[in-house]
Amino acid sequence: MSKANFVQGEEFENLLIESLPLVVDYTATWCGPCRVISPLIDQLAGEYEGRANVVKIDIDQNKDNAKKYGIRSIPCVLIFKDGEVVENLVGKSPYNTFSEALEKHL
């Protein structure tokens, strides 16, 4: 089963220009709710492998990226399609919230 890997900088930019939808979980090690949804994001990565890219970004290590996309509260999951944000999900949510949001953009 695939897991959502942490990405930074250039790797993020390369995924952004791919044709597959990109799901980005903005997270931090100190964030309790982030730890709650982390296994759900990993599950999403496994279930949608080959149909979407699912990654995590640590906001403490990627402040510029978080600022660029207006991340003010975490956990925050953004879904990108064709390089643009098409979904913005903030806070803890059940798995189906993430999968249904992604399904709309496949």
Question: Which position among 15, 23, 24, 34 bears the catalytic label?
Answer: 34
| Residue 76 a catalytic site member | no
Tokens encoding 37? 């949804």
Question: Which position among 15, 22, 31, 40 bears the catalytic label?
Answer: 31
CA nearest to 76, candidates 86, 64, 66: 66
The upper half-sphere exposure of residue 48, i.e. CA atoms within 13 Å in the direction of its Cβ, equals 27
Q: Which phi-psi region, left, alpha or beta, contains residue 70 (left: φ > 0; alpha: ψ -120 to 50)?
A: left
**pTM score of the predicted model:** 0.95
Write out the chain's pLDDT in tens, 106 residues. Answer: 579 999 998 899 999 999 999 999 999 999 999 999 999 999 999 999 999 999 999 999 999 999 999 999 999 999 999 999 999 999 999 999 999 999 999 9
